[in-house]
Structure 1
Amino acid sequence: TITYDEAINELGFGLFQILLMQVCGAGCLFDGIELSLISFVIPGIKQQWNLNAIETGALGSIVFFGMMFGAWFGGFLSDKFGRKLVFCSSIFISSVFLLASCFSVHLGMLITLRFFVGVGLGAMVPCDFSLMLEFLPSKNRGALLGLLQIYWSVGAALECLISYLCIEVISKQFEKGNLLNDGWRWCMFFSSIFGFLIFFLRLFVPESPRFYLIKRNFEKVDQVIEKISKLNRKSLNDKKVRLATTTRTQSSMKLFSKSRDFQIEMTHQEEFKSLTIFNQFKMLFSKEFLFSTILLFIIWFMLSYGGWGFNFLIPIVFEKIQHNNVYLNSFYVTSVGFISNILTLFIIDKMSRRTLMGITFIFTGIFTALVGVSNNPYSVLTFSMLANFMSSFPWALLYTYTPEFYPTSIRTTGMGACSVFTRLAGAITPMFGTLVLESGYFIPFLTYGIALIIAGICSFLLRKETLNSTLQD
């Protein structure tokens, strides 16, 4: 007999995982499009509706408040009712409200709709990484998850092009005063189309067999394994597959799948069936996970505060210093992130996750702080490119480490809880940045750099190394 992990490793990385990666990667692409969009549309909305600094900051922050809500409840729903429910519904919710946003007639309406865009995005990202992880063989798992970050960079770069075409080309074909003259409306319209296309693709993705396992739906487990076997063109050679979950209790029982002669070893399954949102959250703070959970909350918060603050302000700074074309400069900064994401694939499974995170966090923080002390446009562009180049490493590593750290029963809950802190920081940083930017960009970029350095120090303190580890159920 072999375990589920052994079965997945034997079936290997094949056509099934390649197709799944395109669908999950498309979600990251949409996330990159959406989170980059607001930086380009805010100047036009601010001018059109005469927004003050507080209103501008609120518009940039509200999507993250929605993401906080979506990340928490999306994580719970994903662990309780299945990955696929959240996997499909989350991007549909974001797309519907993003499309509706382009018809906003006042700030209150736009902020409300943007909140629900955030709810969908917040639920989507933790679920995507958890689902992808549960289908991957352990070999090169970090590189394969890190590959998803490339799609985010592609989405961010694509939004530069979409924003340029919508704001500088399409909208100018219409007279002023006409709603079609508002470039920001076109940006939201075309960006939402990507979401609807991705939603359609997600309908064909199967549920995670690990979720079926802890719910005792062994027939479905068998069906998914059979589908992977056919697409990857690899056979288990009639081996008995023993699917095991691990818990921290002494009681255990053995069950047998009716559809096959698979031996299934399950432990304390009724506990999983009766989990509530409170109990799942409580498990994150059990003795086994407490210290690292707190550190992960801090790391995710600091990464989002510094990383998203950087991404949010850079286009605004480029416009403020009037150096070349703001879209072109933003494209340069985004493009180096794409290059570093590719480089990440070659080293993420060669070094300790914790060590590599710590080192790259600190260098990202240093380059981010140097943007704040730069006194000419060329140094701002140079240090911005270096900061974004380095930041791709910790993003990929953290999105790999966190779902590897938590067991299946609370994996998406853990990712969702970490995402709450990510979105909280993301909500704070636009308001802070826009308020202090009037007096210069030294203070915001210095604080962003310090936050990233703190995240690096915390990374070194994480107790568990997940490189090449077996996933817990």
Structure 2
Amino acid sequence: MISFFSRTREATSLAVQWSSPKPIRWRIVCAWLSFYNALLAAWNDEYRIAALIKLMYHLAAREDGVSAVYEAKSRLVNEYLQTEIGFGRYQIQLFLLTGLGWAADNIWLQGVAIILPQIQKELNPSRVEFTTLSLYVGLILGATTWGVLADLVGRKLSFNITLFIAGVFGVAAGGSNNFTTLGALVACLGFGALFLEHVPRSHQWLLTLLSGWWALGQLLASLVAWPLIGNFSCEDASFCPKDSNMGWRYTFYTLGGVTLVMWIMRYVVFDLQESSKYLIARGRDEEALEVLQRIAAKNGKTLTLTLSQLQSVSGTVPTSQSSKLSTAQILVKAVSSFSFSHVTPLFSTRRLAINTTLTILIWGLIGLAYPLFNGFITLYLTTQVKDSDGSVSTTYRNYSIISVLGVPGSVIACLVVDWTRKNPGKFSLGGRKLTMAISTALTGIFLYLFTTSTTNAAVLGYSCASGLTQNAMYGVLYAYTPEVFPAPHRGTGDALCSAFNRITGILAPAIKIVTTNADGSASSGTANGPIFVSATLFIVASVLMLLLPIETAGKAAL
């Protein structure tokens, strides 16, 4: 009898833990299972455990849009990542390689913005802004394609092929006479998804630090362009022929070569593993365990998790038959089974639907706000101050300084992003939502102040301040977004956010076209129009961030 009541308390505690965020009907079921578990306890411990696991996890799907079996396995993997595998050599190398992807992403975003004045002089298009427009069309295709494929065929393939495409076509674009196809060459922004899934809970703040690579990508692009465009372009001429305007081509050759080197490093220097959680979601438990064992060995650790333990969660029986599939088989199976099954779970409950909708909307607002200022920042730096010399060298020098100041933004975000509120009833800094809301609001304020600048020092100062807060904002947002989506649908969730971000970004060159002449000239009030819109959108986005119902600080990603 003592054993009966002891096990009743044990099971009831477990049921309350699992059922606390659930509707009342789920709590009733959990209470019934607690009593059922206690009865079984006096009969057979082994049968009790198996029956409880099967009933608890097969009875209903979770509110966060994942299957009950997947959640159980994911929590088991998270526990072993935290306690046995830990943070070691593999995660450090993965951080570096993922960072290279983020850097490459911004290299091409900033690279296109940097060369616009030279394209105007050489190719003389009717509107040079159409170059940015074509870029964003390609970004939409890349964001949706690679994000969805990450959930269908795995993170590893999508993770590697994007850099190769960007590098090859980036070099090719340097020798072309138009940039219509350039938009299709930029990889999607989903590089943090894979990194997240093999990082223990205690080190998931490194996702925020990844945004430092974004700033490094911008810095690299500006440092490459500064000497090349400055020395191989026409300073004042309205028309600059190809022979005298090779600077932007040399810039693209260099950036394309750097991107290809990054891609080679992923194969030669580092043995990238597939996401174990992706494999679990696809029912490939044996391969998932092999991945975890290789990661543990890389870190010099021993993994005690067995296949029988992993499969006992779903009640399946281990089999000696290998379930490995070739890349071709994976592609065929993925295409044949494609559906919206990865989209609907993101809206499966009211709470998750609200959070998903707000997250996508936030990405959309920032997708328009960011390029409205940063996509044409070289023009603003040149025209904001009337007595500025406007030289190429001065413009790219200031641009490089702004890029340097973006790196500390990631560090600052890392310091506060995992602070949780010890007393929910009192206001305190910390957490994902509040950190990114404050940094986003500050970005809008600094952009408003930028429009009032009349000196070189003020223009540079407010630009640096906004660069710092923008990078902090992006760092937290990039960490929050994949964390809030469960791994089976994480790539799709990221794809929806990234696609909407790019779709709204298309409006940025349209607004720029409306507010400026074809030669880029505009009155002072009109020229500040895009900046006012950008600042307002940042402020609105910060308010929506505070309304997000889900906080992920201090929690392990599923």
What TM-score range do you get, normalising by the shorter chain? 0.7 to 0.9
**Closer, same or farther: CA 145–255 of 1 in aligned 2, 3 Å:** farther
**Closer, same or farther: CA 177–376 of 1 in aligned 2, 3 Å:** closer
Correspondence 1:25-424 to 2 at 5 A: 25-52=99-126, 55-105=127-177, 107=178, 110-111=179-180, 113-118=181-186, 121-122=187-188, 125-126=189-190, 128-141=191-204, 143-169=205-231, 177-179=241-243, 181-203=245-267, 204-237=271-304, 242-243=309-310, 253-256=315-318, 258=320, 276-288=338-350, 289-320=352-383, 321=385, 322=388, 325-350=394-419, 351-424=430-503
Q: More deviation in 285-294 or 130-139?
A: 285-294
2-side partners of 1:362 and 1:244: how far apart? 47
Deviations 1:192-227 (A, max 9, x none): 011111222223311111111122222322221121
**Closer, same or farther: CA 357–243 of 1 in aligned 2, 3 Å:** farther
2-side partners of 1:188 and 1:449: how far apart? 31
Q: Which amino acid aligns with 1:64?
A: Y
C-alpha contact 2:122 2:242 (8 A) present in aligned 1: no
Secondary structure in structure 1 of the residue aligned to 2:128 = helix
Q: Which amino acid aligns with 1:449?
A: A
1-side partners of 2:159 and 2:94: how far apart? 12
User: How far apart are 1:424 and its partner, in Å?
Assistant: 1.5
User: How far apart are 1:186 and its partner, in Å?
Assistant: 0.9
2-side partners of 1:365 and 1:245: how far apart? 52
Q: Which has the higher Rg, Structure 1 or Structure 2?
A: 2
C-alpha contact 1:214 1:245 (8 A) present in aligned 2: no
Q: Which amino acid aligns with 1:196?
A: L
C-alpha contact 2:196 2:207 (8 A) present in aligned 1: yes
Q: More deviation in 303-312 or 403-412?
A: 303-312
1-side partners of 2:244 and 2:291: how far apart? 47
2-side partners of 1:323 and 1:33: how far apart? 27
Deviations 1:137-168 (A, max 9, x none): 01130x21112111111111111111012212
**Closer, same or farther: CA 238–210 of 1 in aligned 2, 3 Å:** closer
C-alpha contact 1:218 1:257 (8 A) present in aligned 2: no
Deviations 1:366-423 (A, max 9, x none): 1112212323332222111111111112101111111111111110100011001111
1-side partners of 2:523 and 2:291: how far apart? 57
User: How far apart are 1:177 and its partner, in Å?
Assistant: 4.5
2-side partners of 1:215 and 1:347: how far apart? 35
Q: Which amino acid aligns with 2:405?
A: V
User: How far apart are 1:279 and its partner, in Å?
Assistant: 2.7
**Closer, same or farther: CA 168–224 of 1 in aligned 2, 3 Å:** same
Q: More deviation in 375-384 or 206-215?
A: 375-384
1-side partners of 2:219 and 2:300: how far apart? 36
C-alpha contact 2:285 2:307 (8 A) present in aligned 1: no
Q: Which amino acid aligns with 2:523?
A: S
Identity across aligned pairs (percent)? 26
User: How far apart are 1:17 and its partner, in Å?
Assistant: 0.3
**Closer, same or farther: CA 243–446 of 1 in aligned 2, 3 Å:** farther
Q: Which runs of 5+ in 1 are unaligned?
A: 247-251, 261-271
User: How far apart are 1:239 and its partner, in Å?
Assistant: 7.0
C-alpha contact 1:140 1:349 (8 A) present in aligned 2: no
C-alpha contact 1:76 1:277 (8 A) present in aligned 2: no
Is 1:429 paired with 2:508? yes
**Closer, same or farther: CA 245–152 of 1 in aligned 2, 3 Å:** farther
2-side partners of 1:449 and 1:98: how far apart? 32
C-alpha contact 1:4 1:241 (8 A) present in aligned 2: no
RMSD: 2.5
1-side partners of 2:532 and 2:308: how far apart? 54
Q: More deviation in 278-287 or 354-363?
A: 278-287
User: How far apart are 1:8 and its partner, in Å?
Assistant: 0.8
2:77 — aligned with what?
4
2-side partners of 1:273 and 1:430: how far apart? 35
1-side partners of 2:508 and 2:154: how far apart? 33
Secondary structure in structure 2 of the residue aligned to 1:462 = coil
1:442 — aligned with what?
528
Moved over 6 A (4+): 238-241
Secondary structure in structure 2 of the residue aligned to 1:207 = coil
Relative to the length of structure 2, the TM-score reads: 0.74
Deviations 1:8-60 (A, max 9, x none): 112111000001111111111111211111121110110112233xx211101
Q: More deviation in 178-187 or 8-17?
A: 178-187
Q: Which amino acid aligns with 1:95?
A: G
Secondary structure in structure 1 of the residue aligned to 2:201 = coil
2-side partners of 1:328 and 1:168: how far apart? 10
2-side partners of 1:144 and 1:244: how far apart? 30
C-alpha contact 2:406 2:471 (8 A) present in aligned 1: yes
Q: Which amino acid aligns with 2:504?
A: A
Secondary structure in structure 2 of the residue aligned to 1:463 = coil
Greater RCO, 1 or 2 (C-alpha within 8 Å, sep 6+): 1
Q: Which amino acid aligns with 2:92?
A: I
